[in-house]
Amino acid sequence: MSGILFQINHNGSPIDRKNFLNMFSRIEHRGGDGSNHVFMENAAMGCHYFWTTPEDVGEIQPAISKERDIYLLLDGRIDNRPELISDLDIDQKEASSLPDAGLVLKAYQKWQERIFAKLVGSFAAILYLPAVKKILAVRDQVGDRTLFYYNDNSKFIISSEPYSILANSEVPQKLNKNKVAEYLAIKHQTDNSTYFQGIYELLPGHYMLCREKKTALKKYWNFNFSEKVRYRNHNEYAEHLLEILDKSISSKMRSVKPPGIMMSGGLDSTAIAAIAAKYAKGRLKAFSYVFNKYKDCDESGYIDEFCNMYDTDSFRLNGDDYLPLVDIKNPCVSPNFPNQDSYQTLKNELYRQVKKSGSNILLTGWYADQLFAGEEHWLKESVRDIQISILFRNLKSLVSRRGLLGLRNESSVRTALRPFRNIKNFILGPPPTYDKYSYMTPYAKSLLFNGNGWNSNPEGTGRTGQILNVLGLRTAYDASACSHCTTGVNIDFRYPYRDIRLIEYFLKLPAYQLHDNSDYKNKYILRNAMKGLLPAEILERKKITLFIELLDQSYNTNKKDMNRLIKMHNDELGEYIENNILNVILNKNYKDFEGLESNLFWSTYTYLEWKSRIFK
């Protein structure tokens, strides 16, 4: 996770060095291994290095072509290096010391913009071609790396973080109220605006061309929704998944220091750890939370089972002393946006333990849930694919558990019958509408983004919820949001379940591979793939661990201070939230919150904390 910055003045005037260096200093935390910046006639570019792969150690950016006609900045990691090296006919001696930035530069020289669709990994890059006055900026397919831009009549700026751009004295320092309304609406969909007026985020799977004051956004990757994967039996599906998951994890183990695994006692992270164990040089390093006081949150038993099966250095953080909000007077606040993660204090301490152990890479099992978001379509798709045995086995299990009348509340049944809703509505009339943002003022509702938040329209593609969960901007936002805290301690997060190869496979799978009702097994294909690789206690686990007890304890401890801050800004919040709703929430205990009340309280508090620090 490096920090990159570029600016060009459209009128040909020299770059204001003070402004540029102010912007550059605001992404210094993303480095740790040095930095470099260059000033040209009317442009400047710089990079704060964070070397996490052997090939990158000692590199200098921008990478510059021999002809000095292309300058390139890269934040990220290319996971399909072997394929690119082979296609470019680079000999192994050169490849062994060729940084990823140099590899992308060579690939661009051969394929130009066509290279973007060939890249696999987490990456954001900026290319400058001074002779033709051309700037290109590109972001990976799912948006694990970020780029933000500002463009007006005099200049174009693009940076790893929006707050960096705000350091330029010529950029407006204004809050974007539309984004505030979206945040307080707990709204899943989002657009590419930021909390700062005039600064925008480059969309995942897109590249931007800037030339002569004008910018053009172009999509370089799109999923082909007509492609399907169909095999003869469950084992073939599982074997293919294991093959792709292995490729994803092995490519993310490429590192200078021994990588670690952020491991709970659940299926998602232990699956990552089990496959990573065969690529670890020495004992696998696993980092986990455990709890002595809050037993409902503790997963030590499952972690023990894994460690008994694999040779593991198990680092366990006692989370009893790192409750949510425990550091409420000095929370880790990203200047780019409010902190949505109520467990950030606990995670920050774990990141410090990772660094103390000598690792700077952390693989995580996060975002597996998004891959399985289409499981409610199993009934519809088993009928469509004429999978009689699957259909009969699952329905029999459902009826035995819920009864015939209980089926009407089953999500898979409602999903299968959805095409018949129009007939029902025609006969009985349309159902009553429900305003899920009833707690918001009319003004705040008018500010909300009304699109689907995805860079392509998923409607009519079948599993809309899964597509939005996997490829939506909200998930990309969440995946990249932790970077401010992790890079502060020089930790690079890597997400095997966000690998584009794995995502494409899951979107092609039939939904009856995602869930099986015969034994109430969610994540069915993953459980099949990990048979023999994980302890039975984990594979057959059905209990879900929730940290509600931690939140309840922390809220009750800090309620007085939190309420005081919210009441101080009651007039401002009244622009967005109906006062009666806010008053009801302030007089409740956390365990008594209903529906979105806990989310609304946390969002309100974290927004005010963030705003008080950024807009002083």
Based on the number of CB atoms within 10 Å of its own CB, is 596 exposed (0-12), middle (13-18) or buried (19 or more)? middle
Chain centre to alpha carbon of residue 285: 23
What's the pLDDT score for residue 558?
75
Tell me if 206 sits within 8 A of 139, measured CB to CB. Answer: yes
Q: Residue 77: how many CB atoms within 10 A of its CB? A: 25
Helices assigned H by DSSP within 210-343: 234-252, 267-276, 300-309
First to last CA, the chain: 29
Based on the number of CB atoms within 10 Å of its own CB, is 576 exposed (0-12), middle (13-18) or buried (19 or more)? buried
Confidence check: pLDDT of 51 > 90: yes
Q: How confident is the model at residue 606 (pLDDT cuts 50, 70, 90)?
A: confident
What's the pLDDT score for residue 326?
57
What is the rounded average pLDDT of the residues 414-440?
70
pLDDT in tens, 315-339: 999 998 887 765 555 545 688 998 8
Which residues are 77's β-sheet partners? Answer: 122
Which residues are 219's β-sheet partners? Answer: 206
What's the pLDDT score for residue 411?
81
Confidence check: pLDDT of 314 > 80: yes
What is the rounded average pLDDT of the residues 537-564?
82
Q: What is residue 577's DSSP assignment?
A: B
| Residue that the structure tokens 């930790």 belong to | 491
pLDDT in tens, 512-547: 999 887 765 789 999 999 999 999 999 998 888 888
In angstroms, rounded to a whole number, what is the distance separating the alpha carbons of residues 577 and 437?
10
Strands 284-290 and 312-318: parallel
The H or E element spanning position 134 is strand 134-139
What's the pLDDT score for residue 416?
82
In angstroms, rounded to a whole number, what is the distance separating the alpha carbons of residues 108 and 114?
8
In angstroms, rounded to a whole number, what is the distance separating the alpha carbons of residues 63 and 81?
17
Across the chain, what does the average pLDDT equal? 89
Q: How confident is the model at residue 196 (pLDDT cuts 50, 70, 90)?
A: very high
In angstroms, rounded to a whole number, what is the distance separating the alpha carbons of residues 575 and 441?
7
pLDDT, greater one: 277 or 594: 277
Burial code of 120-139, b = ≥16 C-beta within 10 A, e = fewer? Answer: bbbbbbbbbbbeeeebbbbb
Strands 361-364 and 492-494: parallel
In angstroms, rounded to a whole number, what is the distance separating the alpha carbons of residues 542 and 384?
29
| Residue that the structure tokens 């070397």 belong to | 51
In angstroms, rounded to a whole number, what is the distance separating the alpha carbons of residues 367 and 215?
32
Question: For the sheet containing 200-201, what is the strand order?
Answer: 35-39, 43-48, 3-9, 155-159, 148-151, 200-201
Q: Which two tokens stand for residue 595?
A: 């529906």
Three-state DSSP class for residue 594 = coil
What's the pLDDT score for residue 223?
85
Lowest mean pLDDT segment, chosen from 89-93, 124-128, 302-306, 597-601: 597-601
Burial code of 264-291, b = ≥16 C-beta within 10 A, e = fewer? Answer: bbbbbbbbbbbbbbeebeeebbbbbbbb
What's the pLDDT score for residue 327?
59
Confidence check: pLDDT of 153 > 90: yes
pLDDT in tens, 344-363: 888 889 999 999 999 999 99
Confidence check: pLDDT of 461 > 70: no
CA distances from 168 to 20, 153, 578 (A): 7, 15, 36
| Residue that the structure tokens 């956390």 belong to | 590
Confidence check: pLDDT of 592 > 90: no
pLDDT, greater one: 445 or 555: 445
What is the rounded average pLDDT of the residues 371-392?
90
Percent of the chain that is helix, strand, coil (3-state, to 5) = 45, 15, 40
The H or E element spanning position 158 is strand 155-159
Q: How confident is the model at residue 301 (pLDDT cuts 50, 70, 90)?
A: very high
Three-state DSSP class for residue 4 = strand
Strands 43-48 and 3-9: antiparallel
Count of residues for the chain?
Answer: 616
Tell me if 405 sits within 8 A of 414, measured CB to CB. Answer: no
